[in-house]
């Protein structure tokens, strides 16, 4: 008879080993899936996980892409992880990402075509503020009316997507080009362009912001009282309340931080890699970032690694689409599987398998 | 006047059709939550049902088999959730999210070759003279059989939860799993069955979308219906008939909004199509705020993991 026995202390070894195991299992399961689709599994896995960086043929194009794709994932996941630690579930980061982008682009389009050094910093502030505002809706509804933040933040993603479409077709549409939806290309507007900072690396201001966010989050969670309160509220809510930690304040702070960071990610994306407000602007970073946060064990440094890995699958997925005619959605399946394996493996962290003799009592 | 051009009988009929998929998913999730499990993967299970139901129906030419396939697909995905949360004790919120992300990806992959195909038609139920009644005939008695079966399912769930022994056990498990365990009930077994029922219902709801309401397959076609169903359970304060009322209210909003679009109101389509989500949020706020006290009715062990040795 095998049974699960709860460990007295969560196992540190498995906590760190599980993400790697999950990636390995995903590669195997993903390989089987590709084989079922009639593609060479080894070639597909190679193309997704190795070629974007190591291939001589694609490397020069896709290496800079790695930072471009990973930066928004890391930026969003850092914010989400802070909330998840306190059991505050903001799963609508995709919506905050969209609204942040709209606020940032709105500032740029309002100033167009004026030059000025102050325009880009203003856009950064506006982007963070937009994401913050959008996250305040579930936060305030939660603290004032006890409404479930999971449902509200998620439903607001659909609202944000429709605002995005309305903007791309209406208010923010490029007046110079008749007939096409979409705003002006911010990459052609010097003062608003989130340009590459070092040529050929893919480093733009979003990458810098992600790095700063990682350092701040690390310092906050390990050295600051607020980080301690967040962890306490997540692990022992009653103790936290008796200790004077206000749950409402934590909800506002956690949702506010994650919203602002998601908004920033959206703003850096729209002013750089994406370039314009279009209906197809939202690319699921907000949802993938949830996987990044879990895979990185809600730890800032882990999130960096997880963000790079999932950024890699984005690029590898595009390569596989091009070279092997694999459907683009297969990468989403990959990401979903990764989360499944990770969650499943995590039982080892908290429980151990015990062989017992005879029947269970 | 714009509203004058809308026929109330047609509106009523359309409302029932619009409400059916989310009602199916919501009644399933209601049972799951009554057993103390929060499965946030409704959206994923719905889209699995929508996709697999569509594929089966197109390949066999039978909508009935399509619905059966959809229920199986939803159930299969829910079993994965059951394995994670009941056997491996994972976090229910994270597992539910994983289910949704995985379902959306997998269906985009599976359904790729089915975009743009028309599924076999589901016939309207022939109710003979009933359909001839002026107004009521058009509004209430001119639907496909799934609409009526869904109402019957709501009644069955209501009876099951309130008057059957198994239903009482399920509620006991959901209210206080430690007490239920002490009384000798199999907490995990009850929960796994509840989760499977929820999965099958969500799958059916998805298939109703792809086979009858739309009827077509497109990637991500549930656009949040699963999340609205989750909200509906809270709105219903975990009571089956309230879920029905809530779903019809919601269906009314959707249909009215579509009618306003068609009637050419001067509001851009994008803003009108936001209204179902905004109304859902608004209703959630009403029900969870102090006065209505709906949230006090939540099952006691909801979203709490159960492990016998704890």
pLDDT of residue B144: 85
- Range A19-38 burial, b when 16+ CB lie within 10 A, else e: beebbebbbebbbebbeeee
pLDDT of residue A358: 55
User: Is residue B7 less than 8 Å (CB to CB) from chain A?
Assistant: no
Inter-chain Cβ pairs, chain A and chain B, closer than 8 A: 138
Provide CB contacts within 8 A for A197, sequence distance 6+: A203, A204, A205, A208
- Would the pLDDT of B310 be above 60? no
- CA–CA gap between residue A220 and residue A254 (Å, rounded): 12
Max mean pLDDT range (A54-63, B96-105, B194-203, B253-262): B194-203
Higher-confidence position of A35 and A59 = A35
Residue labelled with tokens 């739309």: B214
Q: What is the mean pLDDT of residues B167-181?
A: 92
pLDDT of residue A126: 97
- Range B123-155 burial, b when 16+ CB lie within 10 A, else e: eebeeeeebeeeeebbbbbbbbebbbbbeebbe
Chain-chain contact of A154 with B227 (C-beta, under 8 angstroms): yes
Of A158, A331, A343, the CB nearest to B90: A343
Question: Which of the four pLDDT bands, split at 50, 70 and 90, describes residue A282?
Answer: confident
Higher-confidence position of B159 and A169 = B159
* DSSP-derived secondary structure letter, B27: H
Chain-chain contact of A141 with B295 (C-beta, under 8 angstroms): no
Which residues of chain B from 254 to 283 reach within 8 Å of chain A, CB to CB?
268, 270-271, 273-274, 277-278, 280-281
CA distance B278 to chain A (A): 8
| B277 CB-contact burial (10 Å; exposed 0-12 / middle 13-18 / buried 19+) | buried
What stretches of chain A adopt beta strand conformation (E)?
Answer: 2-6, 351-355
CA distance A206 to chain B (A): 26
pLDDT of residue A125: 96
User: Is residue B302 less than 8 Å (CB to CB) from chain A?
Assistant: no
- CA–CA gap between residue A53 and residue A41 (Å, rounded): 19
**Tokens for B97?**
């999210």
pLDDT of residue A186: 86
Q: How many residues belong to chain A?
A: 361
Least confident of A40-49, A72-81, B199-208: A40-49
**Tokens for B13?**
């009929």
Q: Sign of torsion, CA A246 A250 A251 A253?
A: positive
Max mean pLDDT range (A64-68, A72-76, B254-258): A72-76
* DSSP-derived secondary structure letter, B212: I
> What are the tens digits of pLDDT across the range B194-236?
999 999 999 999 999 999 988 889 888 888 899 999 999 988 8
CA distance B166 to chain A (A): 24
Chain-chain contact of B88 with A344 (C-beta, under 8 angstroms): yes
- Would the pLDDT of A129 be above 80? yes
Residues of chain B with Cβ-Cβ distance to A331 below 8 Å are 105
Residue labelled with tokens 């590898």: A316
Whether residue A113 is preceded by a cis peptide bond, meaning omega within 30 degrees of 0, is yes
Q: What is the mean pLDDT of residues A75-91?
A: 94
Which residues of chain B from 28 to 47 reach within 8 Å of chain A, CB to CB?
40
- Would the pLDDT of A360 be above 70? no
Average pLDDT of chain A?
Answer: 88
pLDDT of residue A361: 45
Query: What does the DSSP assignment read for B54-116?
Result: HHHHHHHS-HHHHHHHHHHHHHHHHHHHHIIIIIS---HHHHHHHHHHHHHHHHHHHGGGGTT
Chain-chain contact of B271 with A166 (C-beta, under 8 angstroms): yes
Which residues of chain A from 26 to 55 reach within 8 Å of chain B, CB to CB?
none
Task: Provide, rounded to the nearest whole percent, the portion of chain A with pLDDT above 70.
Answer: 98
CB B119 within 8 A of CB B58: yes
Question: Which of the four pLDDT bands, split at 50, 70 and 90, describes residue B294?
Answer: low
CA distance A116 to chain B (A): 34
User: Is residue A340 less than 8 Å (CB to CB) from chain B?
Assistant: yes
* DSSP-derived secondary structure letter, B266: S
Task: Provide, rounded to the nearest whole percent, the portion of chain B with pLDDT above 90.
Answer: 51
> What are the tens digits of pLDDT across the range B101-128?
899 889 988 888 888 888 888 777 777 7
> What are the tens digits of pLDDT across the range A10-35?
888 888 888 899 999 999 998 898 88
Residue labelled with tokens 């006090």: B296
> Between the CA of residue A284 and those of A98, A152, A214, A281, what are the distances in Å?
10, 18, 21, 9
Question: In chain A, what are the domain boundaries?
Answer: 38-326
Question: Which of the four pLDDT bands, split at 50, 70 and 90, describes residue A288?
Answer: very high
Question: Which of the four pLDDT bands, split at 50, 70 and 90, describes residue A53?
Answer: confident
CB B234 within 8 A of CB A151: yes
Question: Which of the four pLDDT bands, split at 50, 70 and 90, describes residue A70?
Answer: very high
CA distance A147 to chain B (A): 6
pLDDT of residue B3: 56
CATH code for the structural domain at A38-326: 1.10.3470
Q: What is the mean pLDDT of residues A41-61?
A: 82
Q: What is the mean pLDDT of residues A302-331?
A: 86
Residues of chain A with Cβ-Cβ distance to B270 below 8 Å are 162-163, 165-166, 169
Higher-confidence position of B73 and B262 = B73
Provide CB contacts within 8 A for A38, sequence distance 6+: none
- Would the pLDDT of A40 be above 70? yes
Of A330, A340, A347, the CB nearest to B102: A340
Chain-chain contact of A155 with B231 (C-beta, under 8 angstroms): yes
- Range B61-100 burial, b when 16+ CB lie within 10 A, else e: eebeebbbbbbbbbbbbbebbbbbbbebbbbbbbbbbbbb
Higher-confidence position of A171 and A355 = A171
- Residue A233: Cβ within 10 Å count: 25
User: Is residue A140 less than 8 Å (CB to CB) from chain B?
Assistant: no
Question: Which of the four pLDDT bands, split at 50, 70 and 90, describes residue B295?
Answer: low
Which residues of chain B from 137 to 196 reach within 8 Å of chain A, CB to CB?
none
pLDDT of residue B305: 79
Residues of chain A with Cβ-Cβ distance to B184 below 8 Å are none
- CA–CA gap between residue B258 and residue B5 (Å, rounded): 13
User: Is residue A174 less than 8 Å (CB to CB) from chain B?
Assistant: no
Q: What is the mean pLDDT of residues B241-246?
A: 93
Of A145, A332, A337, the CB nearest to B285: A145
Most B CBs within 10 Å: which of A6, A35, A152, A156, as the mutation test of the B interface?
A152
> What are the tens digits of pLDDT across the range B45-74?
999 999 999 999 999 999 999 999 999 999
> Between the CA of residue A98 and those of A110, A274, B223, B246, B271, what are the distances in Å?
18, 12, 17, 30, 16
Q: Which domains does chain B have, with CATH numbers?
A: 3-297 (1.10.3470)
């Amino acid at each position: 008879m095998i049974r699960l026995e709860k460990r007295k202390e969560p196992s540190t070894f498995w906590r760190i080993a599980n993400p790697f195991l999950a990636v390995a299992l995903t590669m195997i399961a993903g390989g089987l899936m590709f084989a079922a689709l009639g593609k060479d599994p080894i070639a597909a896995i190679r193309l997704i996980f190795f070629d974007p960086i190591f291939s001589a043929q694609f490397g020069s194009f896709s290496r800079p892409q790695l930072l471009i794709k990973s930066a928004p994932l890391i930026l969003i996941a850092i914010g989400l992880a802070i909330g998840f630690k306190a059991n505050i579930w903001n799963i609508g980061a995709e919506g905050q990402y969209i609204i942040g982008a709209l606020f940032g682009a709105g500032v740029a389009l309002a100033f167009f075509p004026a030059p000025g050094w102050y325009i880009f910093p203003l856009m950064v502030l506006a982007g963070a503020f937009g994401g913050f505002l959008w996250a305040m809706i579930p936060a305030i509804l939660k603290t004032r009316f006890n409404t479930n933040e999971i449902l509200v933040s998620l439903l607001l993603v659909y609202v944000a997507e429709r605002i995005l479409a309305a903007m791309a077709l209406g208010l923010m549409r490029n007046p110079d080009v008749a007939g096409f939806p979409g705003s002006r290309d911010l990459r052609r507007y010097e003062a608003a362009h989130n340009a590459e900072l070092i040529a050929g690396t893919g480093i733009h201001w979003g990458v810098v912001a992600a790095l700063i966010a990682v350092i701040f989050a690390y310092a906050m969670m390990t050295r600051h009282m607020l980080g301690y309160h967040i962890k306490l509220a997540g692990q022992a809510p009653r103790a936290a309340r008796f200790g004077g930690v206000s749950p409402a304040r934590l909800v506002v702070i956690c949702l506010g931080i994650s919203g602002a960071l998601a908004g920033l990610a959206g703003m850096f994306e729209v002013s750089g890699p994406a370039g314009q407000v279009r209906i197809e602007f939202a690319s699921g970073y907000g949802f993938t970032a949830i996987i990044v946060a879990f895979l990185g064990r809600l730890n800032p440094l882990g999130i960096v690694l997880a963000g790079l890995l999932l950024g890699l699958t984005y690029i590898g997925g595009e390569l596989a689409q091009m070279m092997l005619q694999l459907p683009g959605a297969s990468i989403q399946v990959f990401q979903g599987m990764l989360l499944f394996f990770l969650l499943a493996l995590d039982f080892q962290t908290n429980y151990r398998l015990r062989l017992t003799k005879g029947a269970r009592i | 006047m714009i509203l004058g051009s809308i026929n109330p009988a047609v509106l009523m009929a359309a409302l029932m059709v619009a409400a059916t998929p989310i009602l199916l998913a919501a009644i399933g999730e209601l049972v799951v939550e009554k057993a103390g499990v929060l499965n946030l993967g409704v959206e994923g299970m719905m889209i699995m049902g929508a996709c697999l139901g569509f594929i089966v129906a197109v390949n066999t030419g039978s909508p009935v088999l399509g619905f059966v396939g959809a229920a199986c697909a939803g159930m299969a995905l829910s079993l994965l959730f059951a394995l994670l949360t009941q056997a491996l004790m994972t976090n229910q919120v994270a597992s539910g999210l994983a289910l949704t992300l995985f379902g959306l990806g997998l269906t985009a992959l599976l359904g790729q070759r089915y975009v743009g195909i028309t599924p076999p038609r589901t016939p309207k139920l022939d109710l003979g003279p009933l359909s001839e009644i002026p107004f009521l005939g058009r509004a209430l008695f001119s639907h496909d059989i799934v609409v009526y079966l869904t109402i019957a399912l709501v009644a069955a769930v209501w009876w099951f939860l309130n008057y059957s022994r198994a239903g009482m056990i399920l509620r006991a498990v959901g209210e206080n799993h430690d007490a239920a365990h002490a009384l000798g009930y199999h907490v995990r077994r009850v929960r796994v069955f509840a989760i499977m029922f929820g999965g099958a219902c969500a799958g059916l709801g998805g298939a109703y979308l792809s086979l009858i309401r739309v009827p077509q397959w497109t990637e991500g076609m549930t656009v949040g219906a699963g999340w609205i169903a989750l909200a509906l359970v809270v709105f219903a304060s975990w009571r089956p008939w309230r879920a029905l009322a809530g779903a019809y209210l919601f269906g009314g909003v959707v249909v009215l909004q579509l009618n306003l679009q068609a009637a050419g109101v001067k509001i851009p389509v994008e803003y009108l199509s936001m209204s179902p989500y905004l109304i859902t949020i608004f209703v959630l706020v009403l029900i969870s705020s102090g006065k209505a006290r709906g949230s006090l009715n939540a099952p006691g062990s909801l979203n709490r993991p159960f492990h016998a040795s704890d």
